[in-house]
Amino acid sequence: MAMQEQHGLLVQPDASYLDAEAPSEENLGAVASVPWVAVALAVHAVLLMVAWFIMPPSAERLPMMITTVSNDVLPDPPPPIQQPERQIEFPDDHPVQNEPTEDKRVQTDDDTHAEDNTNDPFKDLAKNPNENPSDNESPHPNKKSSTSAVGLAGGAGGGGGPGGKGGYFDKRPGPTGTGDPHKTKTDDALRWLTDHQNREGYWSSTQFGQDSTRTTARHTYNVDFVNVGKADGDTGWEATCDAGLTGLAMLAYTGKGYDHKTAPFARPLRQGALYLRKIQDNDGCFGAKDDDHFMYNHAICTMAMAELLGLSGDLVLKPIVDRAVDFILKAQNPGMGWRYGVRPDRNDTSVTGWMVLTLHTAEMAGVHFDKHKCYNDATVWFEEVTVSKDGYLKTGYDSPGSDNARLRSMSDTYDANPSMDAIYVMSMLFMGKRDLKDQDIRSLTRVCVEKEYLPKWEHNKIDFYYWYYASLALYQVGGSAWDQWSNAMVKTLLDHQRGSHAKDREANLITPEALDEHGSWDPVGAWGSAGGRVYATAINCLTLETFYRHQRVEDK
């Protein structure tokens, strides 16, 4: 049927009548009896109604007057349709942002184990210079999945539980402190580190005093031995150590089981992780390579990020750790160990020990690599430099049976000690190359607990580095050797932690508000002039955490 045009609009004619039944003769008769005037009125009424509905929108409608009123009760209006509330979804790496709050820097224990609800973790970070940026997600090391709820701010971590396969991270005391025999003292150290972190996220060997938030506290600097009362008596080397110090400080937190999502130390760990992510180069190395000792920095930073990964399951960290581990493997000398730089054709036990400990930590965190090759090669170096000397086994630093390393400026100030022997014991046990029944392991362990090598606060014998490694080795061995060592180590460190030191107590400098150095250690040891107070505090805190940092090999 053709379309009809009305008022410029095309209207489909009504064809419904085609389907209507024909009227009966009886009905036709009834219609015929209706007066013609009534019929005309009805027709006009219909035409008016049709015109009303087809009138174009621009036409002005005349008001209509209702002349009849219905007494019928209107039904209740239908209930409104309940629309489900729309949930706004945010990408995993962009959590819901809270209103900005003042940065108090120092958090309290009141919100223990609370998540860090800070803003977008990457918004306050300079643009990552790396290709394949590290904020991409990566599958969980123990799950065949490509997604997770992750992020360096608050939020869930990847599946698989703390530590992944073989991890021991869930055994650390964490926010509750349960199982930490020295909770108050280690927390004092962590609070000192928190209050002296630079706002960029790193810890400085020289500028930590200016970074302090304890603006009204008194400074006394070193109270024993050298540089007493001097303003520069507790600083370290300029800048070259800052990357490594940042990793070492972060390890002091993770050593107790804290990560970047748990109070009260979520903020310093998160800021530290963001800083390390920013300084990681495309080849995986953390920090600049313009210093002879950059491999130390890299190993320590890698260990810190691996422990954060193992504790939190936060897969934003996974590609960061993967690339860092890959750099370690590429830097190893073929068939041997590590030294400064990438494959420098020289080896030393100190750097090799750091690398083994870092790889062991990464392995606990679920990072997979060819451990058999790198561990076998490292074993070749350890066995080559461990020889019988004067009736004792002795592990050398850079040649068979040589003394441990010393700064050239300190070589005549501090006594030699069996720190390389301790590294041998720890490394061979963690690599699975020796066991606790091995005679060489027991022989090297006995040297560490001889009277002259036990920890004591005598100027020429203070070596925090040695105390750290010997504690790791002797804890693995256990028994009477560990008891003898730990008793001496704990007493020495706790008696000389600032705020607990006898001279501080005499002066009533026993709170952070009264003493800026409260909770730290004076950098009076063999390596204090390099790392300064940040180094001394972080590594001594780690030493006090030996009781729960690593699972004993006999318990595995």
Q: How far is CA 19 from CA 4, 14, 16, 411, 472, in A?
A: 20, 11, 6, 113, 97
> How many residues appear in the chain?
556
Q: Which amino acid does the sequence have at 269? A: L
Establish if 37 belongs to a structural domain: no
Neighbours of 496 (CB within 10 A): 20
Residue 4 CB contacts under 8 Å (≥ 6 apart), including other chains? 10, 11, 13
pLDDT for 230 = 55
Q: Whose structure tokens read 């595995």?
A: 556
Q: Whose structure tokens read 């000192």?
A: 192
Residues 538, 545: Cα–Cα separation, whole Å: 11
pLDDT for 185 = 95
The stretches in the chain having pLDDT less than 50 are: 1-34, 36-39, 50-150, 153-166, 229
pLDDT for 37 = 46
Q: Whose structure tokens read 């019928």?
A: 72
Residues 504, 511: Cα–Cα separation, whole Å: 10
Establish if 395 belongs to a structural domain: yes
How many domains does one find in the chain?
Answer: 1
Task: Dump pLDDT digits (tens) for 128-157.
Answer: 444 443 333 333 333 333 223 335 543 333
Q: Whose structure tokens read 């606060």?
A: 457
pLDDT for 167 = 57
Establish if 79 belongs to a structural domain: no
Establish if 14 belongs to a structural domain: no
Task: Dump pLDDT digits (tens) for 93-133.
Answer: 333 333 333 334 333 333 332 333 333 333 333 344 444 43
Q: How far is CA 402 from CA 64, 280, 353, 393, 416, in A?
A: 112, 34, 16, 11, 10
Establish if 28 belongs to a structural domain: no
CATH number at 441 reads 1.50.10.20
Establish if 278 belongs to a structural domain: yes
| Residues paired with 222 in a beta bridge | 228
pLDDT for 419 = 97
Establish if 94 belongs to a structural domain: no
Residue 212 CB contacts under 8 Å (≥ 6 apart), including other chains? 195, 196, 516
Establish if 204 belongs to a structural domain: yes
Q: What is the pTM of this model?
A: 0.73
Domain membership of residue 323 as a residue range = 109-555
Residue 278 near residue 125 (C-beta atoms within 8 A): yes
